[in-house]
Every structure is written in structure tokens, then in C-alpha cells.
């Protein structure tokens, strides 16, 4: 009996071993084509179960291009490197000439060349390139290099320092040029994907990925007070050399132009909305001056609480009306505001019958008014309400 029982156990072990071996090897010999169809079949069968872990879906997705590579493939060829050369002249002190005579030859060269580099992207098959004004500003020579290695001499057609936009023209002749697809920056949402493409720190064809952190960030609040526009803020890495390159959405459309980084912050960069560039493109291509209306005041937001705190201080130099509005802290001499009679300490509460409680609102109204427009300001001066008409003018120092 014991011998018979032992034979039965041994037979059971052998059968289990053979079955396990067959199952194991049958799994290893599954053909790749069969495995792929199995994965896709499993994927189709589980479309209605989004919360379940789908190994087949993962396997199929790994074999496909990511949305980033697809987006970059769409617009990347249109991204260019812009190299600039600026000649700086050295002025020789007249004392040396007077002392040594005309034979004086200074040991230091009277001119030196400064090289710069940035990015841009082609928006027209005729060779129109968008970039930043600070990339090509005052450049004596501009060289444009395409991703495929072709090189062209560039001509700066127009620049605007206030929006940091510029247009460069190259002459492709018979050569075909890749063109970037422009998107619509008015449709952006916080959290959307953002892909920065350019040539940072001399490293050509570099791509970084992030999201849209904020939209409509005023330049003043972004720490860039010399610009007058609302930025797209992103955490996609933007480094020196990225300037002028495109910021793409997940579909590879240009939604912004990379322009600035904050030296005091990590992972924060800013881009000019592409719709702003679209609006100014024709003006820059034609070389005309971009209109920038201004009135000539420096201002801060004020609330009744802040005003009351100021007025309760016996050492305060001015009395501030205890209302909500925009406090004028300085009036620039010989400007529209000065000519109209605006004063330091005035609190602006409305323009053209529209209430104003924020300096950005006031700036937007002035920007959209156009040149030589008459704006009716309603303001508090001490405890009196007065109305003043201000005529806008072109911002000084703009090209």
C-alpha cells in the first residue's frame, strides 16, 4: 500500500511539472504580431473601464511618439538661431591727441566687436522671422541659421523695445523654408502644456517642457517695469539664448515668444503672447513706429485703509483721500499728465465714466485709447472731486 501511494504521488508531481513547463514555454513563444493584436484587442475591450489598470494600453502607448516629440516635429524645423555682431567704437580722450599730436596711435583698438545669440522662428515662406527686440537691438550684422544647417544674412526690418518684439527678414530665393504654425494665445488656460524651443546658452535645438503657470501677468508685477504688456508665465525652462524662440502648446502651435527669466527665482519664465505679435507684425515688417500712448505718471494702488494709515502718521508728507483708486506718486515733467494739471497725491477713481481701482486697468485704458486721444479723468484731490482731460501722446524713447 505504501509503495502504491508513493507511485501515485510521484505521478502527480510529474504531471504538474509537465503542465507547468508547457504553459511557461507557450508564453515565451508568443509571436510579436500576436502580442500586438492581443494588446490592441485588450485596449479596445477595456475602453469603458478607465479606472482599471490596463497593461496593454501602457505597452501600446510606449511604442508611439509622445505629444512633445510630435509638437516639436511640427514646428521645430522653423526655429532658427540668430547670431549678432555689434561694433562698439572707443572714443579717444582729446587730451592725448592734443598732447601727442596727430601721430598718436593708441595701443588699444578703437573698435571692438560684441557677439550675441538668440532664437527666432519663421512665420512666412518669404523669410519673415519673429524674435525679441533685445536679441537684434543695435546689431550691425545678423546671421540666421536654420535647423538643417542653412545660413542666411538677416535684415532687421523693425523693432519695438516696449513689447520686446522684432522682425528679421532673410532672402530664401528659390529655397523652401519651413514655417511655424501660429496658435491663439487667448484660449490658454492655467495648467496647459508649454514647450519651449530654442538655443539656450549656445546649445542648438533644445526643448524643455512645463505648463502655463499664469496668464495675463502684467510686466510691472513680473519685475520688468520697462515693458508694457501682459506676459504668459511658465515653468518650462527658459535660459539665455532661448530669447525669441517659440513657446508651443501640445499641438505644436506657437502660443508665445520666450523673452525673459527672473534672476531671483528658479523655474519662472515669461513669454509674449503670440496674439500681441500678430497685432504688431505688419507694422514691424513695414518698419513703421509702433504706437504706444502714454500720459506720464507713476502710480500705485490705494485703498481707504492704506490711506487712513498714511493720514494718521503726523510725519506723512501728503494727505491721501481715503478712497479706493490709483494714487499718483509722481508726475513726469513735460508730459500729457503734467500739461493737464495732474498732481502728486491725486487719486484717480475713473476714466471716461469707467471706475478704476487698479493701475493695470488704467494702463490698459491708456494703451487702447490710441495716440492723441482725449481721456476724461475723475479724481480726488484732498477732499474734492475734480475732472481733468488728458491728451495721450507717443511714449518717449520708442523707436
156: its cell numbers: 532687421
DSSP string, 254-270: EEEEEEEE-TTSSS-EE
Identified catalytic residue from 83, 119, 160, 164:
164
Identified catalytic residue from 119, 213, 243, 369:
243
| CA separation for the pair 349, 347 (Å, rounded) | 6
Q: Is 243 an active-site residue? A: yes
182: its cell numbers: 501660429
Burial of 358 (0-12, 13-18, 19+ CB in 10 A): middle
* Residue matched to cell numbers 504706444: 292
| CA separation for the pair 126, 176 (Å, rounded) | 9
Minimal CA–CA distance to 397: which of 172, 178, 48, 159? 159
| CA separation for the pair 212, 392 (Å, rounded) | 34
Q: Is 164 an active-site residue? A: yes
The number of C-alpha atoms within 13 Å of 166 and in the hemisphere containing its C-beta is: 29
DSSP 141: E
CA angle in degrees (0–180, nearest 5) for 313-314-315: 90
Identified catalytic residue from 134, 192, 204, 360:
134
Residues 6+ apart with CB under 8 A from 261: 238, 239, 240, 268, 269, 270
| CA separation for the pair 139, 195 (Å, rounded) | 28
* Residue matched to cell numbers 522671422: 129
Residues marked active site are found at 134, 164, 243
Amino acid at each position: 500500500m505504501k509503495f502504491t501511494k508513493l507511485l501515485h504521488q510521484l505521478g502527480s508531481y510529474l504531471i504538474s511539472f509537465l503542465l507547468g513547463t508547457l504553459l511557461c514555454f507557450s508564453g515565451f513563444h508568443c509571436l510579436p504580431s500576436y502580442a500586438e493584436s492581443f494588446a490592441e484587442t485588450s485596449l479596445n475591450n477595456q475602453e469603458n473601464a478607465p479606472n482599471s489598470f490596463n497593461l496593454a494600453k501602457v505597452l501600446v502607448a510606449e511604442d508611439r511618439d509622445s505629444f512633445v516629440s510630435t509638437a516639436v516635429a511640427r514646428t521645430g524645423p522653423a526655429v532658427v538661431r540668430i547670431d549678432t555682431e555689434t561694433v562698439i567704437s572707443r572714443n579717444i580722450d582729446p587730451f592725448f591727441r592734443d598732447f601727442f599730436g596727430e601721430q598718436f596711435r593708441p595701443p588699444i583698438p578703437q573698435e571692438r566687436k560684441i557677439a550675441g545669440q538668440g532664437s527666432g522662428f519663421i512665420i512666412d515662406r518669404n523669410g519673415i522671422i519673429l524674435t525679441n527686440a533685445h536679441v537684434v537691438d543695435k546689431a550691425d550684422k545678423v546671421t540666421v541659421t536654420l535647423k538643417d544647417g542653412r545660413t542666411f544674412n538677416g535684415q532687421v526690418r523693425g523693432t519695438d523695445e516696449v513689447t520686446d518684439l522684432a522682425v528679421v527678414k532673410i532672402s530664401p530665393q528659390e529655397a523652401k523654408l519651413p514655417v511655424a504654425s501660429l496658435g491663439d494665445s487667448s484660449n490658454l488656460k492655467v495648467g496647459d502644456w508649454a514647450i519651449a524651443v530654442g538655443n539656450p546658452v549656445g546649445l542648438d535645438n533644445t526643448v524643455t517642457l512645463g505648463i502655463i503657470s499664469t496668464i495675463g501677468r502684467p510686466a510691472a508685477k513680473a519685475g520688468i517695469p520697462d515693458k508694457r504688456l501682459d506676459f504668459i508665465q511658465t515653468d518650462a525652462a527658459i535660459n539665455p539664448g532661448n530669447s525669441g524662440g517659440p513657446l508651443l502648446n501640445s499641438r505644436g502651435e506657437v502660443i508665445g515668444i520666450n523673452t525673459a527669466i527672473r534672476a531671483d527665482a528658479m523655474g519662472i519664465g515669461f513669454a509674449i503672447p503670440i496674439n500681441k505679435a500678430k497685432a504688431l507684425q505688419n507694422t514691424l515688417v513695414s518698419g513703421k513706429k509702433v504706437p504706444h500712448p502714454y500720459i506720464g505718471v507713476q502710480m500705485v494702488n490705494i485703498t481707504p485703509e492704506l490711506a487712513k494709515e498714511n493720514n494718521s502718521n503726523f510725519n506723512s508728507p501728503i494727505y491721501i483721500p481715503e478712497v479706493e483708486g490709483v494714487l499718483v506718486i509722481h508726475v513726469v515733467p513735460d508730459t500729457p499728465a503734467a500739461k493737464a494739471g495732474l498732481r502728486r497725491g491725486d487719486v484717480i477713481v475713473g476714466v471716461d465714466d469707467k471706475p478704476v481701482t487698479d493701475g493695470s486697468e488704467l494702463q490698459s485704458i491708456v494703451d487702447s485709447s490710441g495716440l492723441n486721444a482725449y481721456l476724461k479723468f475723475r479724481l480726488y484731490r484732498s477732499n474734492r472731486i475734480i475732472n481733468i482731460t488728458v491728451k495721450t501722446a507717443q511714449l518717449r524713447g520708442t523707436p
